[in-house]
Amino acid sequence: MDVTNKPVFEGVRVIEFCRVLAGPACTKYLADYGAEVIKVETAANPDTIRSWSPYKDGVPGVNRSTTFAMFNTGKLSVTLDLTKPAAVALAKRLVAKADVVVENYTPSVMKKWGLSYDDLKQVNPRLIMLSVTPQGQTGPYSLQPALGIELGASAGYLSFIGRPDREIIQPFIAFPDIIAVCMGITAIVGALLHRRRTGEGQYIDLSMLEASLPTLGPSLLDAQANGREPQLMGNRSLYAAPQGVYRCKGEDRWCAISVLNDGEWDGLVKAMGDPQWAAESRFATMLDRKRNEDELDRNIENWTTHHTAAEAMSLLQAHGVAAAAVQKGADLAKDPQLEHRRAYELVEGHPEIGPHYTVAPAFVLSQSKYSLRAAPCLGQDNEYVFTRILGLSDEEFIELIADEVIA
């Protein structure tokens, strides 16, 4: 392979002590782009996401979760009982041969095992270590466990989402996890560049709570600067009118529409066939439309309900208006734009799931390729990692299995 086409992280070895999403998804992209990622779990208490459905053929199993398969492509899997000193010693030997460690346990866990950054830099001074935690390594709430919904509550964005006449709604997507993935990869790349220049490793303390704050945008700044609390607006916006999700022809079909200025308003009116109501003075300017949003939304939905979501989207986009049909899972699976971009790729070689489609990296580098390889079964690479990478003899390897150190 020409050197210019080599994966950008080729030659980088990563040891992962992670569970669920934020940490594993971060290292997944490193693996897709060439890093050797060794995922450390225990057979008695493996990564939580291994138990998440959907399963292949609906049959549960520690190696059958397609959710786990999506977020752990291309990794090696080893099992160590880190409550045992011999297992911790093996983990340190792995770290001594690594470039990066990524972990996302609460701050007390790695320290309890003797695997904190202070411990690990003794065996590898050039080590880069990323810790992804709900609220960072320090502070009064740093030891609090949290998943997506709790972080949404702590970050405040649950109070920004929904309608004033409805109860609080938790978004389906774990936004803090996904944002942490982006920031984690960025931080690792920065630390690798720093090490290339100086030879120094370093520790990265990533707070998912703090990573979430920029998503609140002006509402957060308004509360801080002016003491104003945001008002729940449903699908509406301070900066657009109309903006909403409008019912269309067909069962449970909708189209999202946003109009940011008078030029786009003119496009919307033309797309709708210049209805008389649109010429009324109460809809003449953005401010007028904001003042009369209830009636504006009713009028627009009277139009959208006579069209399919795809028809409404096409008509509006042809007139320069931002619009998108609300897609369901089946729609996404056959979306022509995603198909063109090869957003889904077939992964082969998994012994229990078999051939399956997964989501490809969203960023495509023109001179560096990625490779999607099957996620590992639990502990499948124990022999390779401990005998080939660490150099254990067959006798030592078998003895550690018998002692349930490798377990």
In angstroms, the first-to-last Cα distance of the chain is: 38
**Nearest Cα to 20, choosing from 101, 125, 102?**
102
Q: How far is CA 65 from CA 55, 60, 322, in A?
A: 5, 7, 37
32, 47, 99, 177: the catalytic one is 177
140 phi and psi angles, rounded to 5 deg: -65, -25
Please say if 177 is a catalytic residue: yes
CA pair distance 83, 203, nearest whole angstrom:
24
Exposure of 356 by Cβ count < 10 A (0-12 exposed, 13-18 middle, 19+ buried)? middle
CA pair distance 52, 39, nearest whole angstrom:
18
Region label for 228, one of left (φ > 0), alpha (ψ between -120 and 50) or beta (otherwise): beta
For residue 257, give the H/E element and its range: strand 254-258
Residues with Cβ within 8 Å of residue 49, at least 6 apart in sequence: 19, 20, 21, 24, 65, 67, 68, 71
With contact defined as beta carbons under 8 Å apart, do 17 and 24 qualify?
no
Exposure of 388 by Cβ count < 10 A (0-12 exposed, 13-18 middle, 19+ buried)? exposed
Q: Give the residue numbers marked as catalytic.
A: 177
